[in-house]
Amino acid sequence: MSSKEPVLEIQGLCVDYGLGANAVQAVRDVSLTLHRGEVLGLAGESGSGKSTLAYGLTRLLPPPGVISGGKVIYHQPGGDPVDVLRLNDAGLRAFRWAETSIVFQGAMNSLNPVHRISTQLTDVLAAHQPGMSRAARLARARELLKLVGISADRLDSYPHQLSGGMRQRVMIGMALALEPQVVIMDEPTTALDVVMQRQILRQLVDLRERLGFSVLFITHDLSLLVEFSDRIAIMYGGRIVEEAPAAQLYRDSLHPYSDGLLHAFPPLRGERRELTGIPGSPPDLRSMPSGCAFHPRCPKAFDPCGSELPLLGVPVDRPDESRTVACWLHPGA
Ligand code: ATP
Ligand code: SF4
Ligand code: MG
Q: What is the pLDDT of residues 132-152, one digit of tens each?
A: 999 999 999 999 998 888 899
What number does the ligand 1 atom closest to the CA of 284 have? 18
Residue 194, CA distances (Å) to 172, 190, 198 in order: 18, 8, 6
Find the 231 Cα to ligand 1 centroid distance in Å. 23
Instruction: Please check whether residue 4 is in contact with residue 179, taking contact to mean a CB–CB distance below 8 angstroms.
Output: no
- 329 ligand 2 Cβ < 6 A: yes
Mean pLDDT of all residues in 230-259: 96
- Residue range 6-99+180-325 forms a domain whose CATH class is alpha beta
Domain ranges for the chain: 6-99+180-325, 114-179
pLDDT of residue 324: 97
CA–CA distance, 289 with 297 (Å, rounded to integer): 10
Q: What is the pTM of this model?
A: 0.92
Residue 279, preceding peptide bond in cis (omega within 30° of 0): no
CA gyration radius, the chain = 20
Instruction: Tell me the per-residue pLDDT of 278-298, one tens digit each, with 9 for 90 and over.
Output: 889 999 999 999 999 999 999
Q: Which of 294, 302, 303, 330 to mutate to test the pocket of ligand 2 (most atoms within 8 A of CB)?
A: 294
Q: Which of 303, 305, 307, 309 to mutate to test the pocket of ligand 2 (most atoms within 8 A of CB)?
A: 305
Find the 241 Cα to ligand 3 centroid distance in Å. 17
Residue 174, CA distances (Å) to 74, 168, 246 in order: 21, 10, 28
pLDDT of residue 27: 98
- Please, which residues have CB less than 5 A from ligand 3, an ion? 50-51
- 292 ligand 2 Cβ < 6 A: yes
pLDDT of residue 276: 67
Instruction: Tell me the per-residue pLDDT of 193-236, one tens digit each, with 9 for 90 and over.
Output: 677 677 777 888 888 888 889 999 998 788 888 989 999 999 99
pLDDT of residue 267: 60
Find the 79 Cα to ligand 3 centroid distance in Å. 32
Phi, psi of 310 (to 5 degrees): -80, 130
